[in-house]
């Protein structure tokens, strides 16, 4: 089954800095999605990038997708304390969404 | 935006009892819902895909007789953990899609924290 794998898994940054997370996958995909999860809560969808897209922006978020390398990155610019959360990439294929291990991001005020 | 309501948010039960978790799509119809399980500080593991009006599709290694899924309507799917044991203690999350399209995001419930004593 498809499995995204994020790198690094834990990131601690100062407020205002940028945070970058990477995700790799192994099989062909229809799209790749990034989600955020606050502790003990459900997941919130952040951004979806289709397999024929290379880059997408949404507010302070920037996602890239390199299908030749089977990898994606999520950049959060000008981080805020409220961005503290776990971030997961998920790849979709065969009507199944498989999640990576997640990145714990801590933004220090 | 699309809202998925999951209930209960927390449940504590005794070993051997059964627990039912509900997942409702509040403002859209969901022909497909997904049930995930998450252990502390780990990723989400897909347990099964719930299809309205038909049998759920279980992932390899997930016991269908232990985790009963019913998707009787376009807005409700239930997961019943039967004869619960302490190792079933986990965070269970449902999700649904509001369009019949692979290129639309999933909407997640807030999860159910199950503790089996």
A98 contacts on B by Cβ (under 8 Å)? 46
Centre a 10 Å sphere on the Cβ of residue A24 and count the other Cβ atoms it contains. Answer: 17
Rounded to 5 degrees, what angle do the CA atoms B59, A44, A35 make? Answer: 65
Rounded to 5 degrees, what angle do the CA atoms B33, B34, B35 make? Answer: 130
How does pLDDT run across A36-60, given as a tens digit for each residue?
Answer: 999 888 899 999 999 999 999 999 9
Q: Is the pLDDT of residue B25 over 90?
A: yes
How does pLDDT run across B56-109, given as a tens digit for each residue?
Answer: 999 999 999 999 999 888 899 999 999 999 999 999 999 998 766 667 788 999
How does pLDDT run across A78-89, given as a tens digit for each residue?
Answer: 999 999 999 999
pLDDT band at A2 (very low <50, low <70, confident <90, very high): very low
Query: Is residue A35 a contact partner of residue A100, using CB atoms and an 8 Å limit?
Result: no
B104 contacts on A by Cβ (under 8 Å)? 48
Beta partners for residue A22, in sequence order:
A7, A73
Q: What is the CA radius of gyration of chain A?
A: 13
Write phi, then psi, for A108 (nearest 5 degrees): -90, 125
| DSSP code, position B59 | P
């Amino acid at each position: 089954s498809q499995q995204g794998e994020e790198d690094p898994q834990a990131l601690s940054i100062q407020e205002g800095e940028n945070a970058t997370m990477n995700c790799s996958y192994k099989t062909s995909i229809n799209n790749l999605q990034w989600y955020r999860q606050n502790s003990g809560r459900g997941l919130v969808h952040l951004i979806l990038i289709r397999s024929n897209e290379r880059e997408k922006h949404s507010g302070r978020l920037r996602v890239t997708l390199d299908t030749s390398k089977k990898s994606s990155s999520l950049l959060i610019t000008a981080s805020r304390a409220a961005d503290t959360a776990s971030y997961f990439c998920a790849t979709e294929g065969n009507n199944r969404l498989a999640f990576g291990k997640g990145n714990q991001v801590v933004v220090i005020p | 935006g699309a809202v998925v309501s999951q209930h209960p948010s927390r449940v504590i039960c005794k070993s051997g009892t059964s627990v039912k978790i509900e997942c409702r799509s509040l403002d859209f119809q969901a022909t497909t819902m997904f049930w995930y399980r998450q252990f502390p500080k780990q990723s989400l593991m897909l347990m099964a895909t719930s299809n309205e009006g038909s049998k759920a599709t279980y992932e390899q290694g997930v016991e269908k007789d232990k985790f009963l899924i019913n998707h009787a309507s376009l807005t409700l799917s239930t997961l019943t953990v039967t004869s619960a044991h302490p190792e079933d203690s986990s965070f269970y999350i449902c999700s649904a899609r509001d369009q019949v399209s692979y290129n639309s995001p999933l909407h997640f419930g807030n999860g159910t924290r199950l503790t089996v004593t």
